[in-house]
Structure 1
Amino acid sequence: MGGAPDRGAVRRSAGVAVVSPFEIEEIFPDVAVGSRLPRRQQGTSAQALAATLIADYTLPDRVWLPSAAIVALLVESGVSSGAARTAISRLMRRGVLESSREGRHSSHRLTVDAAGELLAGGAWIARFGDRDRVWDGYWTLVAFSLPEEQSARRRSLRAELRWLGFAPLYDGLWVSPDEVNPTVERRLGAVAFGALTVFRARQEDLAVEVSRNPVDAWDLPAIAGHYQRFDERWRPLLPQVRQGEIAGAPAVHARTQIMDAYRRIPLLDPQLPTELLPAGWPRSQARDLFVAVYDGLAGPAEKHVRAVVSQAAAASRADAVRAQTVVRLAATGTS
């Protein structure tokens, strides 16, 4: 991606929301996403879990998985067999999965559209926090004014701004440290044509303390708290991962859970330049923890998924199963 990851580049590609699709509508419900990937419910829905499991072990080649194997993996993760079959059916209706049949046995794989979206989102998640960004000191400001009777349009604009990485410094003035690109202009113009002004500027330090720092537009303590909870949940698992004590279904389940937890972080942390953040900001620490667990369990998890698939299909199909890793994810997708 060149330099620090551009928070908006992957988000804006082709006008499709491509990162963490299970989380997008939960956090920004007014944003229309480009796919029909499942919304994340309380905890993790069976549909979201199924899509994550399939993506983790079949991308980028869109390997076919027997329906029986998908159901078995979901059951191991605490989903009932009935709910697992329902989740698969609903993902097919959404256009996330496609199916094939050989006699009495059916198989499923991700559709081209869903695979592309998940690959792009996975690549951005994998690159998130991998290096410090270079910042020129300029802020992008969006000023807008919409009448009260256009409340729905105002909500859509605010949701779009949040999705693009902006935060409200004041009610009608939103800020971002990122530069503007044509796609941002197009997306904002679609919801607020003729009602906003965009400009780039530096903050002036006044002699008296009457100005508000743009960084105050983000609730950094709340974001730091999310990082802390992530660390408290997953760091105790590291010794077991490093000693090879987690295998089989628990390895698959842990990888799915930590991906589900970590992919929310890039939506909450705007990846502000280091000079704007408190000392010891935990972004890189959280990324290192995620990599250690997710990649550390890739081998045993892949072995288990292959074993489950081999019970329901030919060995050649099981051999095509391959666990994703952060390195592989970062190398896929384009921004």
Structure 2
Amino acid sequence: MANAEHFANIMVERFIEAVNRGVDLVPVVADSTSTAKIAPFIEAFPDRLVNVGIAEQALVGTAAGLALGGKVAVTCNAAPFLISRANEQVKVDVCYNNTNVKLFGLNSGASYGPLASTHHSIDDISVMRGFGNIEIYAPASPKQCRQIIDYAIEKQGPVYIRMDGKPLPEIFSDSYQFEPGRVDVIAEGEEIALIGMGSVMHEVAEAAATLNASGVSAKAICLSSIRPCDTDELARQLTGIRFAVTVEEHNVNGGVGAMVAEVIAEFDTGTRLKRLGIHDGAYALAGDRQSMRAYHGIDAGSVVDTALNLLREK
């Protein structure tokens, strides 16, 4: 992919820039230096990294302690282990106690491909939405990733950032400016709305372009700001749209599909919803990403087929 960038590289770049401008930032890893691609930071600031070993509960507890000591603590490890193995520490040490910790869930979704369910993170958004007092983001492009990280570093309080594990190209214009809570519309349309989160927005954008080229008026909406989310604006974008399709590399329960369903019901937009993601009660297919996405119906071609089937039913 032309000009594609890996989010972990962007993360480390922003950490280095933050320390250079005077931010007292300390990364904490759980023997995850390669996953975090943190080597350039270690080279620049060899005394700033804390490695707790393969001990995710200690990772989060240590980060909370550093934050209580006045540091901007950032955890950098794989999303499935951060969310599952350190669940209680995330809930209590970070969220409940409102510590200034930034949780980076690396290689989220099914980024680990053939390593299968032990390494897939398809429930992290649903888990984090169940916790209070933490902002939640899932960047979809390099530009958005940079801006979300810069915002999170300056934000006082807990933040979770869901980071994809594959290089991704840009989908936003040069003028794009991230705002917490904003509903980003990347293609206008009147017949059907396609709504995605994070890296799967690239499938959504391709599907919307295909539909629009074929004469179907398709709106594409990016929900990378999960909490906060401007639900009033989301409802406004869906009002008058008869059909909506949500697409996520996440279980269909508790993620973007659930968020959109809640808005449709609470604001009575009259929109019929189809949720695409990892099937209810299922795990993500172990295999390369495109095969997995096609199997679960979340690749661009499947999204187009789903949209056309909905429109035929009207």
TM range (shorter): under 0.3
TM-score normalised over the length of structure 1 = 0.22
Greater RCO, CA 8 A, separation 6+: 1
Question: Could you say which structure has the higher helix fraction?
Answer: 1
